[in-house]
Amino acid sequence: MLQLNIINETSKLKAVVLGIATSNGPIPNPEDCYDPKSREHILKGTYPKEEDMTAEIEAVVAIFKKYDITVYRPKVIKNYNQIFSRDIAFVIEDKFIKANILPDREKEYVAIQHVTNQISSKNIIELPKDCHIEGGDVMPLNEYIFIGTYSGEDYANYITARTNKQAVLALQQLFPHKKVKSFELRKHNTDPKENALHLDCCFQPIGKNKAILHKNGFLIEEEYDWLVNYFGKEHIFEITKDEMYDMNSNVFSISEDVVISEKNFTRLNSWLRNHGFVVEEVSYAEISKQEGLLRCSTLPLIRE
């Protein structure tokens, strides 16, 4: 059986589910897109090719192997996008929580059954139907659980609003010993530069006490300020609107001092190196056209 253990985003990684780009399916119609960035690339004729995305993900597999990490992959569903495994479930402590995702993505969860079969059934949690949540909005940070949400009256109008208040309350009940803190995110159905699809699109803790942050991703300035005070200004790398659009906050930590990052994130990567991080650079620019990057395609199961 798998002994799940996730307390934060940066402890040494031991086991992970990594998405796949094999048999990714035809280019969707713009009106069928779940996010504004995919839609933009479809309309521009620059939607990513399957072979390019497959090569990008396999480079991440190689890095995981180098660090002796156990890597699980979803079973291939023909003609179906299975890149973003972070959306379908997430782990907090020893609990595997199934995300209540968009209904037509249910197949993605079934495709990791060979993983869930190795988890004690008492540790697999299915939230009530009225709880909407995706893993990109959930960040365990030791005594805290940070959650990106949107609680506007117009929630239903946003395909980009993925996590609601009911889910925040449900997690607080599941983990009464944790401080659950939610952050209202800026949502936009058609402008990717004004849309924080998930919390990890505008924020991510790295190392022991540092963070990548984008102010405009947050709807409420006090909530952004809370994070700045929590980490301390000198420990924060503030990204620009263009860097948020390119998904600079969506890197992935293998440990407190090793980060996988996109090779084009030159400003971020040199900041990381200057602050003592080992930066494993990969190409992920094609995958990022679907408004997801390294954190989105990983589902960590065990950290030390």
| Geometric angle at alpha carbon 83, from 103 and 199, rounded to 5° | 75
Residue 226: pLDDT band with limits 50, 70, 90: very high
Tokens 């280019």, residue located = 27
Domain 13-192+284-303 fold: L-arginine/glycine Amidinotransferase; Chain A (3.75.10)
Give the separation between CA 137 and CA 90, rounded to whole angstroms: 10
Q: How high is the pLDDT of residue 280?
A: 98
Q: How high is the pLDDT of residue 154?
A: 79
Q: How high is the pLDDT of residue 161?
A: 72
pTM of the predicted structure, to 2 decimals: 0.93
Q: What is the pLDDT of residues 81-99, one digit of tens each?
A: 999 999 899 999 999 999 9
Residue 177: pLDDT band with limits 50, 70, 90: very high
Give the separation between CA 108 and CA 62, rounded to whole angstroms: 23
Given a cut of 90, whether residue 166 has pLDDT beyond it is yes
Q: What is the pLDDT of residues 40-65, one digit of tens each?
A: 888 999 999 999 999 999 999 999 99
Alpha-carbon radius of gyration of the chain:
18
Give the separation between CA 211 and CA 233, rounded to whole angstroms: 10
Given a cut of 90, whether residue 255 has pLDDT beyond it is yes
Task: Identify which has the larger pLDDT, 163 or 236.
Answer: 236
Domain boundaries of the chain, sorted by first residue = 13-192+284-303
Given a cut of 90, whether residue 155 has pLDDT beyond it is no
Query: Quick one: average pLDDT of 198-212?
Result: 96
Print burial letters for 14-29: b (CB count within 10 Å at least 16), e (below 16).
bbbbbbbbbebeeeee
Residue 294: pLDDT band with limits 50, 70, 90: very high
Report the chain's mean pLDDT, rounded to a whole number: 93
3-state secondary structure the chain: CCCCEECCCCCCEEEEEECECCCCCCCCCHHHCCCHHHHHHHHHCCCCCHHHHHHHHHHHHHHHHHCCCEEECCCCCCCCCECCHHHCEEEEECEEEECCCCHHHHHHHHCCHHHHCCCCHHHEEECCCCCCCCHHHEEEECCEEEEEECCCCCHHHCCCCCCCHHHHHHHHHHCCCCEEEEEEECCCCCCHHHCCCCHHHCEEEECCCEEEECHHHECCHHHHHHHHHHHCHHHEEECCHHHHHCCCCCCEECCCCEEEEECCCHHHHHHHHHCCCEEEEECCCCHHHHCCCCCCCEEEEEEC
Task: Identify which has the larger pLDDT, 140 or 31.
Answer: 140
Name the β-bridge partners of 278: 258
